[in-house]
Amino acid sequence: MNKESNMSVLLKGLLKENPVFVLILGTCPTLATTTTVIGALGMGLAATAVLICSNAVVSMCRKFIPDTVRIPCYIVIIAGFVTIVEMFMHAFLPEMYELLGVYLALITVNCIILGRAEMYAGKQPVGKSILDGIGMGLGFTIALLAMATIREVFGAGTFAGIPVPFIETHTIDILIKAPGGLMVYGMLIAAVNFITKGKAIKKKDFSCAGCPSAGNCHGGCASAEKEAE
Amino acid sequence: MDTFKTLVVILMSSVLVNNYVLARFLGICPFLGVSKKLNQAVGMGIAVIFVMLMATAVTWPIQIFVLNKLGLEYTQTIVFILVIAALVQFTEIVLKKFIPSLHKSLGVYLPLITTNCAVLGVTINNMIDGYNFTQSMVSSLGCGLGFLLAMVLFSGVRSVIDERLVPGPFKGLPVTLIAASFVSLAFFGFAGIVDNLFA
């Protein structure tokens, strides 16, 4: 795994190992915050910031965190950065803070962050972990933006609050409600499967890799399978 | 009587209207992961109710009597997640020692719940909504029951889809998500139930 170039570490998060559509991590915020493009962007960037910082610190500390208590250590590191991001947002972007509400605090239990700490940052040098954090964070943001664009444009007839002509008067209201989120997500995963011809999806069974506890059940199937390859 | 009414409204709205899984999207991961078989779904659901109640019983006093008193509200996220993680570990050890039969049936699900966003979500939401202790406990019970209900209903749906032929790209997760969206649509029918409960 050490052989891969820095560029591929950065780029794999965007499509090949996109955390949302391929690794199926972080489903809760993906569904909950994608009703508006602005919300999705805020969520994506907040999670990216936490991911980069936590990846860096986890990687720095990987030599002296005992293996048996690593999960609680990771959670504390992540929760600390989430609190910092939360306070920053409260101070400088109060509207965004209101919009994201409880989901901001819930970045703590976002499986992408714990998953990357466990699968990647806990084993790799600092520089690579930061790149991985940037790549995965951007992949997450792009995926959220894709979902939010579909949902906001067709569901509310606006894009980032700006009305879209024609569609504005022919909206599909259900898309911005809960069922629409699940449906768009399902369709997009199917589309990614179709494009990658099922190659990407084979790697994981979502029963384990897709749960926030992937780290908790000691490595999770996803990392075990990757190690085996 | 009014207190009782409030409690019933909180319970009904958290079970049916604001169902944590289907309307607020918390705890989606275990919902998709552990709903393949009915008995697993029930086990997970009961374990979640159990942990939610315990977590609320512990985090509510901590927030009100410690964090608010000391002006440390901003450490809420860190404190809550640590308390939940410690609590789950503790519960597991206690159950293993004293009630091994219960540990056998719930034990596997307990560690999975530590990082379940529904548990952290319910404890934080109780604080945001400004519930008192009884209301918080009822709301947690309701969320847990709602989770159990969604899991049980969905495991039934899953057992049907898994036997059907679906087009290649839709196999596995996509078709499951689309089915979940229909289950979620069904819950829309409950939207008016709370407003008209005592009308």
- 8 A C-beta contact, residue B45 and residue B151: yes
User: Could you tell me how many CB contacts below 8 A there are between chain A and chain B?
Assistant: 157
Q: Check residue A1 and give its pLDDT.
A: 46
The Cα–Cα gap between A59 and B129 comes to: 38
Q: Check residue A57 and give its pLDDT.
A: 93
Q: Which one-letter DSSP state was computed for residue A171?
A: -
Interface mutation target, options B16, B76, B81, chain A, most CBs of A under 10 Å? B81
Q: What is the 3-state secondary structure (H, E, C) of B85-143?
A: HHHHHHHHHHHHHHCHHHHHHHCCCHHHHCCCHHHHHHHHHHHHCCCCHHHHHHHHHHH
Q: Check residue A55 and give its pLDDT.
A: 92
Catalogue the E-assigned strands of chain A: 158-159, 162-163
How close is the nearest chain A Cα to the Cα of B108, in Å? 10
Among the partner residues B111, B177, B185, nearest to A213 by beta-carbon distance? B111
For the residues B153-179, what does the mean pLDDT come to?
Answer: 85
- 8 A C-beta contact, residue A148 and residue A40: yes
Reported as a pLDDT band with limits 50, 70 and 90, residue A205 is: very low
Is B77's CB within 8 Å of A182's CB? no
Contacts of A95 (CB under 8 A, 6+ apart): none
Could you report the per-residue pLDDT of B114-139, keeping only the tens digit for each? 767 888 888 888 888 888 899 999 99
Longest Cα pair distance anywhere in chain A, in angstroms? 59
Q: Is A83 on the interface with B (CB under 8 A)?
A: yes
Q: Within its chain, how far is the Cα of B180 from the centroid?
A: 16
Q: Check residue B1 and give its pLDDT.
A: 67
The Cα–Cα gap between A140 and A55 comes to: 15
The Cα–Cα gap between A22 and A39 comes to: 22
Reported as a pLDDT band with limits 50, 70 and 90, residue B199 is: low
Q: What percent of chain A has pLDDT over 70?
A: 84
Q: What percent of chain A has pLDDT over 90?
A: 22
The Cα–Cα gap between A31 and B181 comes to: 11
Chain A residues within an 8 Å CB radius of B33: 206-208, 210-211
